[in-house]
Amino acid sequence: MINENKKKSTSNGQLYVVATPIGNLNDISLRALEVLQQVALIAAEDPRHSQKLLAHFNINTPLTALHEHNEIKRSHDILSQLLQGKEIALITDAGTPLISDPGFYLVREARAEGVTVTPIPGPTALITALSVSGLPVDRFVFEGFPPAKPIKRQHYLQTLREEMRTLIFYESPHRIMHLLTDLAAIFGADRYVVIARELTKLYETIHGDQVQQLRQWLAAQPQQQQGEFVVIVQGAKHIMDKTELDEQAIATLKILLAELPLKQAVKLAAAITGEKRNVLYDYALQDVNKSI
Ligand code: SAM
């Protein structure tokens, strides 16, 4: 029986959200195979694509398509089958469903209807890339695909320029050079970036450098511009490294910090100097931490 430990007594069927490999078929889990073998139906982003994976493991479970163009209607069909007590698995072309992939609507509605939704964990490109990037992993943000249109992408990157956590993007081979060009222009040529290409596949490449150099390295090798990419960007350095505050503002803040609680000192410093309260606050926090 599937997932015996977790199976709850419910007449509302069960939806399994099953991660599949992002390249190397050996990355499928034993639990994923067991579930895919035993469910009544598999909802797949592209049944023809998934058929190859299933055939490789001799799995003959019927498939139905659930992709971005039929997601809502097909989710309702699947939901009604779940509510009749069926066990159904959701998979996508690669990696973990819902992560830049279809499935959100189905999972949300299934949970709302009281269907048990069980994750079968496995590969996802962003975590695979992050784990080998050498960039901080304690705090990170996943941004999915940046906008495709140049102006929209540039505005969007502007909003992320000051983000201090490690940033993770997905990008297509057609736009990888454009993204690196915009990153160099907006985040600065010296921002450190790692590209993780064709992970778990034959031509897997993980390469990091300052974004301007990385861009040149990639431009010189058209064959490296093919395939699938995760782009990992170092977070913005702390405000203190950037000397964004002028000396007078820092001096004012320090005098106030010596006499007042942090919040009050920041509030007054903002009123006196006209600097942004959050910038002063970040500086004050670092200053206090340094002196502990
Ligand atoms: N659901 C998937 C996951 O869990 O990572 C992501 C699906 S999204 C439609 C496809 C994008 O993920 C690709 O364009 C690429 O940015 C990234 N990706 C997927 N497989 C990859 C791989 N083997 N190497 C590098 N990036 C990959």
Ligand 1-lining residues (CB < 6 angstroms): 22-23, 92, 94-96, 99-101, 124-126, 170-172, 196-201, 228-230
Q: Which of 106, 123, 140 is the last residue of a domain?
A: 123
Pairing of strands 192-197, 229-233: antiparallel
- CATH code of residue 31: 3.40.1010.10
CA of 101 to the centre of ligand 1 (A): 9
Cα 34–93–149 angle (5° rounding)?
155
Choosing from 90, 100, 127, 200 the residue with most ligand 1 atoms within 8 A of its CB, the one to mutate for a pocket test is 100
Locate 135 and state its tokens. Answer: 């960039």
Q: Is residue 216 part of a domain?
A: yes
**Closest protein CA for atom 11 of ligand 1:** 170
In this prediction, residue 238 carries a pLDDT of: 52
Average pLDDT over residues 268-283: 89
Choosing from 124, 228, 231 the residue with most ligand 1 atoms within 8 A of its CB, the one to mutate for a pocket test is 228
| CA pair distance 118, 38, nearest whole angstrom | 14
The DSSP element (H or E) to which 263 belongs, if any, is helix 262-273
Over residues 91-149, the pLDDT tens digits come to 999 999 999 999 999 999 999 999 999 999 999 999 999 999 999 999 999 999 999 99
- pLDDT value at 9 more than 50: no
- In a shared domain, residues 22 and 117: yes
CA of 24 to the centre of ligand 1 (A): 13
CA of 125 to the centre of ligand 1 (A): 5
- In a shared domain, residues 213 and 135: yes
Q: For the residues of 39-95, what is the DSSP string, one character each?
A: SSEEEESSHHHHHHHHHHTT----EEE--TTTHHHHHHHHHHHHHTT-EEEEE-SSB
Q: Is residue 242 part of a domain?
A: no
Q: Is residue 2 part of a domain?
A: no
Q: Is residue 150 part of a domain?
A: yes
Over residues 16-67, the pLDDT tens digits come to 999 999 999 999 999 999 999 999 999 999 999 999 999 999 999 999 999 9
Mean pLDDT estimate for the chain: 92
Pairing of strands 87-91, 14-18: parallel
| CA pair distance 12, 277, nearest whole angstrom | 52
Q: Is residue 240 part of a domain?
A: no
- pLDDT value at 254 more than 50: yes
| CA pair distance 68, 240, nearest whole angstrom | 44
Least confident of 2-6, 168-172, 182-186: 2-6
Q: Is residue 3 part of a domain?
A: no
| CA pair distance 143, 207, nearest whole angstrom | 20
Q: Please give the tally of structural domains in the chain.
A: 3
Can you give the three-state secondary structure of 193-241, one letter per residue?
Answer: EEEEECCCCCCCEEEEEEHHHHHHHHHCCHHHHCCCEEEEECCCCCHHH
- In a shared domain, residues 109 and 44: yes
Q: Which atom from ligand 1 is nearest to the alpha carbon of 126?
A: 5
| CA pair distance 86, 88, nearest whole angstrom | 6
The pLDDT-based confidence of 239 (bands split at 50, 70, 90) is very low
CA of 170 to the centre of ligand 1 (A): 7
Q: Are 253 and 269 in contact (CB under 8 A)?
A: yes
Q: Which atom from ligand 1 is nearest to the alpha carbon of 92?
A: 1
| CA pair distance 65, 144, nearest whole angstrom | 23
- In a shared domain, residues 66 and 155: no
Q: Is residue 7 part of a domain?
A: no
Q: Which of 123, 157, 183 is the last residue of a domain?
A: 123
- In a shared domain, residues 47 and 141: no
CA of 116 to the centre of ligand 1 (A): 27
Torsion angle defined by CA atoms of residues 283, 286, 291 and 292, in that order, rounded to the nearest 10 degrees? 140
Reference 145, options 162, 129, 126, 164; nearest CA is 126
Share of the chain above pLDDT 90, in %: 83
| CA pair distance 42, 102, nearest whole angstrom | 14
Reference 124, options 101, 152, 154, 151; nearest CA is 101
- pLDDT value at 231 more than 70: yes
Over residues 144-160, the pLDDT tens digits come to 999 999 999 999 999 99
Q: Which atom from ligand 1 is nearest to the alpha carbon of 19?
A: 4
Q: Is residue 35 part of a domain?
A: yes
- In a shared domain, residues 143 and 198: yes
- Domain ranges, residue 281: 247-290
- In a shared domain, residues 252 and 201: no
Reference 78, options 94, 93, 89, 91; nearest CA is 89
